[in-house]
Amino acid sequence: MTNATPTRSYTGEDVYIGIDVHKKSYVLEARVGQARVKRWTTPALPQKLPEQLLKYFDGGRIHTAYEAGFSGFVLQRCLSQAGIDSRVVHAAAIEVAAHNRVKTDKRDARKLAIQLEAGRLKAIYVPTEAEEQARLLSRTRKQLSNERGSLKRKIRMKAHQFGLIGPEDNREMTHKKVAEILEKSPGEEFTLAIEVSWAVWRTLDEQIARLEARQKQQAEADPNEAVYRSSPGFGPISSRVCSNELGNLQRFSNERKLFSYTGLTPGEESSGETVHRGPITKQGNRHIRAILIEVAWRAIRQDPSLAQFYQKVSSRAGSKRAIVAVARKLIGRVRAAFCKGELYQIDYDAPPQAADIPPAPVASA
């Protein structure tokens, strides 16, 4: 469906296009001068869409936006390579009208186009293809570790089902413990069920070890590794995650942008002179937020100044908010180390002001 005549010229005009991305199709709405000029559906072929947009809106300055998700950044790269302004936005950053529960592909495309035209959509950071490749190691390791944890829990529940583990037995499920359970097996069917799960568990161990070996090689070639490893609470796994997801922290011109990217920024509701800060927004990189909280718990046992800060905040705000505040302060200090070109130091000084930060060198994640 279109409201535009086939011969319309877009020369010199700004065209704002919202794209609702699906596995098999894209739903698009284009707006010019706060009015819809075209809405259509097209196959989800990222290499073909730029050609289509340049043909439809010949001479116009084309701006597009779509929601971050399963499709990754291939579409953004194809559009950008064709000279089309393209931004990927976080789903939580898209405004939704109060009490509006109707969600359709056309409405989503229209909402993106309207907010893009109004300048209300903030783009997320789009990694290079090399950075995406590097992230695959730590993200895949996390996925397999979660599957392994699920298998352990399933073996435990089967053992509970037949009374082979006591209700107060909270010991970690290990390979040795599985062998002990099998010695008390009530029958062949139980033995087979446990052995099958156990075999998958051992396979996961082997594949996780393969990933960790490659991560070790990756770390040895990564110039950012030394700074992360010098920071309290960081180990080989957390350093790999942070380096792959965040890279050299000099790329963030100030702490506020870093905190926003990590999702550690407190939510805020303001009315008049009253400002209420709530839980963190969780709009940032979900892969980094959880690992930074884990690192923060370890860091307060290694850095006295962070431990003191944690005690101060927890006494008035509780332990959950306190550890988030520690994670925020810690990653801010790690950024300061990057900006100063040195390793982290215990009781690290406050980070420099944005004006003092030298331009970030080009570095891989």
Mean pLDDT of the chain: 87
Residues 209 and 229 in one domain: no
Which residues, 6 or more positions from 342, have their beta carbon under 8 angstroms from its beta carbon? none
Provide mean pLDDT across the span 120-125.
90
Mean pLDDT over residues 58-69, rounded?
95
Nearest to 175 by CA among 158, 147, 150, 194: 194
Tell me which of 63-72, 95-104, 315-324 is least confident: 95-104
Residue 339's pLDDT is 95
For 278-335, the pLDDT digits (tens) are 455 556 678 899 999 999 999 999 999 999 999 999 999 999 999 999 999 999 999 9
Residue 236 vs residue 1, higher pLDDT: 236
Residues 239 and 262 placed together within one structural domain of the fold: yes
- Model-level pTM? 0.78
- Look at residues 205, 220, 235 and tell me which one is the last residue of a structural domain: 220
Same domain, 232 and 347: yes
Distance from C-alpha of 201 to C-alpha of 198, rounded to nearest angstrom? 5
Into how many domains does the chain fold?
3
- End of a domain among 186, 220, 254? 220
**Residue 90 pLDDT:** 87
Q: What domain range includes position 194? A: 129-220
One domain, residues 210 and 229: no
Q: Is the pLDDT of residue 242 over 80?
A: yes
For the stretch 192-200, contacts whose Cβ atoms lie closer than 8 Å and that sit 24 or more positions apart, written own/partner, are 193/158, 194/155, 194/158, 194/159, 197/151, 197/154, 197/155, 197/158, 198/155, 200/151
Tell which of 85, 117, 149 closes a domain.
117
Who has greater pLDDT, 283 or 65? 65
Distance between CA 80 and CA 172 in Å, rounded? 50
Minimum mean pLDDT range among 52-61, 306-315, 344-353: 344-353
274 located within any domain: yes
Q: Are residues 251 and 309 in the same domain?
A: yes
Q: What pLDDT, on a 0 to 100 scale, did the predictor assign at position 234?
A: 97
Find where tokens 């070890």 sit: 209
Please report whether residue 363 resides in a domain: no
Instruction: Classify residue 288: in a domain, yes or no.
Output: yes
User: Quick one: pLDDT at residue 361?
Assistant: 38
Whether 72 is in a domain gets the answer yes
**Which among 260, 29, 290, 17 is positioned nearest to 122, based on CA atoms?**
260
CA distance 239 to 233: 9
pLDDT at 31 over 70: yes
